[in-house]
Amino acid sequence: MYGEKDAARGDAATFLWLTEEFGELASALRSGTHEELAAEMADVLAWLATLANIRGVELEAAVLRKYGRACPGCQAVPCVCDPAEKP
Amino acid sequence: MYGEKDAARGDAATFLWLTEEFGELASALRSGTHEELAAEMADVLAWLATLANIRGVELEAAVLRKYGRACPGCQAVPCVCDPAEKP
């Protein structure tokens, strides 16, 4: 639905939009309604997907590759990494 | 796979992790390999999904609600909003 405009905008300008939505997510997290929070999360995901499209990344495949089997840190399900460590 | 640790961490601390990954995405966008970029995008999505779980938001449903039919701005597919406007 946004293909041509996305390609014309490019990745850096798209990251700027994503960042703006990221800020709005912080606001909604702090003081938004449940509906507003859900909408801001949708916006962040939509702009992330746009960025992935522009750079030729298959977003779903990338998630499955990294997180599809088990925790990439400890290789266990559920994760048994030290809580102070990432993730 | 991370349910208990996520609930214990809470939303603000989870947003902090998400923000760290967001910075890593910016780095990968600028100078990462295609694989590194894909992995950073996966990390951002994974932390966004974690945050959604913690706050009880159905992420996929939220995206479909906002973007499932057409552009929420102009109601058209493809979008015909002014390119200077969001999105």
Name the more confident of B3 and A65.
A65
- pLDDT given at position A87: 59
Substitution target in A9, A45, A60, A82 with the highest count of B β-carbons within 10 Å is: A45
Measured between CA atoms, the residue of chain B closest to residue A75 is B1
- Among the partner-chain residues A29, A42, A78, the one whose CB lies closest to the CB of B63 is A42
Say which amino acid occupies A41.
M
Substitution target in B47, B63, B74 with the highest count of A β-carbons within 10 Å is: B63
Place of tokens 């999904």: B49
Alpha helix positions (H), chain B: 3-9, 11-31, 34-54, 59-67
* Block mean pLDDT (10 aa), chain A, length 87: 84 96 97 97 96 95 91 90 76
- pLDDT given at position B87: 59
Alpha helix positions (H), A1-87: 3-9, 11-31, 34-54, 59-67
- pLDDT given at position A6: 85
Question: What are the C-alpha distances in Å from B18 to residues A44, B13, B24?
Answer: 12, 9, 10
- pLDDT given at position A84: 76
Q: Do B45 and A55 touch (CB under 8 A)?
A: no
Q: Tell me: pLDDT of B82 over 90.
A: no
Shortest alpha-carbon distance between residue A11 and chain B (Å): 8
User: What are the chain B neighbours of A43 within 8 Å (beta carbons)?
Assistant: 66
At B83, the pLDDT band (50, 70, 90 cuts) reads confident
Helices B34-54 and A59-67, packing angle to 10 deg:
80
Q: Give B4-55 pLDDT, tens digit per residue.
A: 888 888 999 999 999 999 999 999 999 999 999 999 999 999 999 999 999 9
Q: Give B51-73 pLDDT, tens digit per residue.
A: 999 999 999 999 999 998 899 88
Q: Is the pTM of this model over 0.80?
A: yes
Helices B59-67 and B34-54, packing angle to 10 deg:
100
A10 conformational bin, left if phi > 0, alpha if psi -120 to 50, beta if neither: left
Shortest alpha-carbon distance between residue A4 and chain B (Å): 9
